[in-house]
Structure 1
Amino acid sequence: MVSIDEVARLAGVSTATVSRALSGRGQVSPTTRARVESAAKSLGYVVSSSASSLASGRTRNIGVLVPFLDRWFFSTVLSGIANTLMRRGYDITLYSLTADREQRRVIFETFLRRQRVDGVVAISIELGDDETERLRELDLPVIAIGGPNPRLTTLTVDDIAVARLATEHLIALGHRDIAHIGASPEFDIDFHIPTRRRQGFEQALADAGIPAHPALYEPADFTIEGGFRAAKQLLGRPGERPTAIFAASDEMAIGAILAARELGYRVPEDLSVIGIDGHELGEFFRLTTIDQFPLGQGERAAEAILEALETKDEAPPIHEPGRLPFELIVRGSTSRPSEREG
């Protein structure tokens, strides 16, 4: 078995430097770190997790709380977290945090208290006061994506601003009859993101002097199938039909495009469609979207938790929220309403 001394000799550094470089603890220049990692790789040296834990008091494992494992957005954020942590030699432990109170109690009062993680990342989960207190009692770095939670360091997207930007894009194109596909009540949990997006939609309409019509709202479940059914309702009702649809997620927007096509509408000539997320299928469907960079959200959260670990003993925890970026990506699913004719 290759020893740390052999890695040190090959890299031309001390064993202490090898330990710092491979553990991620302490100051090591990028050049030295790369040299040590190259030497370790060429020799096939792997840091013993048990030995590392004993020496550093760290498990090199991060707990991740996530509400859904089968939804594209959450799995993409999770990929960003996992990839970033893996590059730094950290594992992750997933905790699927549903609305079940007993399950949540067990996770916070038992699993997270076993001292098997060095820090916690919570993805778009609204934590109760008791749950937040349980996390703080662990005396571990915690990064929350979503928020706000004034007692934790949070990375947030302004969902009202995101929805306003999507709606203002349609208004700027000349649309006035704009429908919105939002969320059913059972999906309007954890920071009420769908409600905030509907608020942004209605604020943009009000600022433009456009009344919001209740008949131009349809709830769904943030899936392609849900968006498909909701769009069929909006487009199949008697009376005036929308010239544009703003869906609160890209998956629902893709469902709306498929429904429009099935009903004989051309997108964007007969109907403009915009979503939110930056879904990987968006480019395939030429979907105009507000990209909130979910992979980047995960990467930023992982970097924040690693930075918090490195400075844990040097400074008090920082609870200032950080704003996550978003950007309008215009593709081929939106156009001026006048272009529907001809």
Structure 2
Amino acid sequence: MTLSNSNSPLARREALDDRLEQLRRMIEIRFVEERIQKLFAEGHVRGSTHLASGQEGVSVGIARSIDPDDIVTCTYRGHGHALALGLTPAGVIGEICGRVIGCAGGVGGSMHLVEPAIGLLPTAAIIGAGLPIACGAALAARARGTDRVAVAIFGDGSANIGAFHESLNFAAIQKLPVVFVCENNLYGEYTRIQLSTPVEDIAIRAASYNMPGVIVDGQDADKVAEAMATAVARARRGEGPSLVEMKTYRYSGHSRSDPATYRPAGELDAWLKRDPIDIFAERLTAEKLLAARGLDSLKTEVREAVETATAEVLDSPAPELGEIMAHVGAYSAGGDQRHLFWSN
């Protein structure tokens, strides 16, 4: 059994030091996303789901370049990031299926994954919501005298809203230890970028806030990790924020019911030729770390592990109705905690 199969998110995170494990994690993300789509079709998932197949290089590249106690905020398209950071397939699939085995006990669902032990704050369904939250986390790290870095992951559509500009402006003025990561997959929901954004490269907007703006090939996990390492080191040294734009692509539509018929003919095929898993596997083969048929064997192993995790999830019960009232509270002006909801 590899460390990737461990039930410990922290152990899974530490396993990413190994290059074969990085490949395995990308394959795991791909197969978990495929299984989630099937689970939805089978009636096990309520609500919507937003898959990120094709963007695995970004997720793993980011995870291997930051520390487990660094803070990460990301969007509703965050299954891959959660798995890369260390959440287990059962923890992710269980949450999406609304089972107690899920990372939030089954009450958060597809768009609200969380694991404090590896720095993952609750993922946000609101476009761009994670950017100001990451600024707050970075400000808190500074106030506490730690060297923690906050990473805000968002899509290209978020770069056109007020929270983006306000967050970058505030982070620059305060020289906060935060890295803004734009996953530019060319589409903001159903709208192609040139129909909503007057610039081709989001990274050039960094100049307006006097911070580095870097464009990265998001299909290459090594290039992602290299760019992130530079930005993270800069933040830790107290030199302020960076904007890192990952050029990537999602193979599926915006959500589980979107066939993406609005895409130009041949666009998907062109991106499939630069699949992040294939790019990384070819590199490991050249480095003599992966046997000639090693990718096929690895895929078989991972698919079996994902199926095992899925069976474990489907055997897990749904949370009791009363759980909707758990972990909900308020503070009075005096600072003492008062529960908003309780049972007699």
Normalised by the size of structure 1, how large is the TM-score? 0.31
For the pair shown, the structure with the greater C-alpha radius of gyration is 1
Structure with the larger strand share: 1
Identify which of structures 1 and 2 has the higher relative contact order when contacts are C-alpha pairs closer than 8 Å and 6+ apart: 2
Could you state the TM-score of these two structures normalised by the residue count of structure 2? 0.31
